Amino acid sequence: MAKIVLDVPDVSCEHCERTITRALQSLEGVTSVRVDIPTKKVYLDYDPGRIALERISAVLDEEGYPVAASHSA
């Protein structure tokens, strides 16, 4: 299991939080999602053997929330 923090500058409200959470929780290999609106960060636990970080970023981009950066949690 890996922990990652994604910087998502377009997060601004509870609607953003719900959209991101729903999109990421539907992905096989993602086990935990937490969106922090004030810091514009998404905290994610996932299995890199089941899903690539690039796929996670692509899903967020498709939802209108491009990832600016990522770092280990």
pLDDT in tens, the chain (73 residues): 999 999 999 999 999 999 999 999 999 999 999 999 999 999 999 999 999 999 999 999 999 999 999 998 7
**H or E stretch at 58:** helix 53-62
Domain that holds residue 46: 2-72
Q: Using CA atoms, how far apart are residues 10 and 64, in angstroms rounded to an integer?
A: 8
CB contact at 8 A, 9 and 29: no
Instruction: Indicate the number of domains in the chain.
Output: 1
44-55, pLDDT tens digit by residue?
Answer: 999 999 999 999
The pTM assigned to this predicted structure is: 0.93
User: Domain with 10 in it: what CATH number?
Assistant: 3.30.70.100
Where b means 16+ CB within 10 Å and e means fewer, 33-55 reads bebeeeebbbebebeeeebeeee
Q: Using CA atoms, how far apart are residues 39 and 36, in angstroms rounded to an integer?
A: 6
